[in-house]
């Protein structure tokens, strides 16, 4: 009897099904790890272009002014590149983005007003533009 004949008696294609299941399970684990530190009940949406992302951001910020994060699924890399190059296209310039290219999941973190002001002030000083604050009278 050959070494090949002593192996598993499963049909030849069953290995592919097992591999697909493991791949799907691994992807779910990666997704869980990427999103695990977000607050409970963080809103999650599906948006595949800049317009729908901006619309989702506007809607969720209107509904909840204290929103910290928004998770967007199925986002192509080209869309993320646009969001990086043009922060206004996000619907909120007071935001930071985190992206997992393999999962195609984008997390938008909304900044509180005080952070936005401090960030703008620092940017003005670094660029040598003086101060963004108005002089005290």
The count of domains in the chain is 1
86, part of any domain: yes
32, part of any domain: no
63, part of any domain: yes
Contact 14, 22 (CB under 8 A): no
List pLDDT tens digits, range 33-48. Answer: 899 999 999 999 999 9
Instruction: Kindly report the CATH number assigned to the domain that includes residue 51.
Output: 3.30.110
List pLDDT tens digits, range 49-93. Answer: 999 999 999 999 888 878 899 999 999 999 999 999 999 999 887
Pairing of strands 44-46, 69-73: parallel
Distance CA 48, CA 50 (A): 7
106, part of any domain: yes
70, part of any domain: yes
111, part of any domain: yes
> Containing domain of residue 80, as a range?
37-127
Pairing of strands 95-100, 44-46: unpaired
- DSSP letter string, 67-78: --EEEEES--HH
**Residue 101 confidence class, pLDDT cut points 50, 70, 90:** very high
């Amino acid at each position: 009897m050959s070494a090949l004949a002593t192996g598993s008696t499963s049909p030849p294609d069953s290995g592919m099904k097992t591999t697909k299941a493991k791949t799907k399970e691994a992807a779910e684990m990666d997704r869980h790890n990427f999103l695990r530190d977000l607050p409970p009940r963080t809103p999650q949406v599906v948006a595949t272009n800049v317009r729908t992302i901006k619309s989702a951001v506007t809607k969720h910020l209107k509904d909840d002014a204290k929103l910290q994060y928004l998770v967007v699924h199925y986002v192509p890399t080209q869309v993320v590149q646009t969001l990086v190059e043009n922060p206004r296209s996000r619907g909120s310039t007071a935001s930071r983005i985190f992206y997992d290219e393999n999962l195609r999941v984008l997390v938008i973190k909304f900044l509180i007003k005080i952070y936005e002001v401090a960030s703008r002030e620092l940017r003005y000083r670094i660029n040598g533009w003086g101060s963004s604050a108005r002089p005290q009278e």
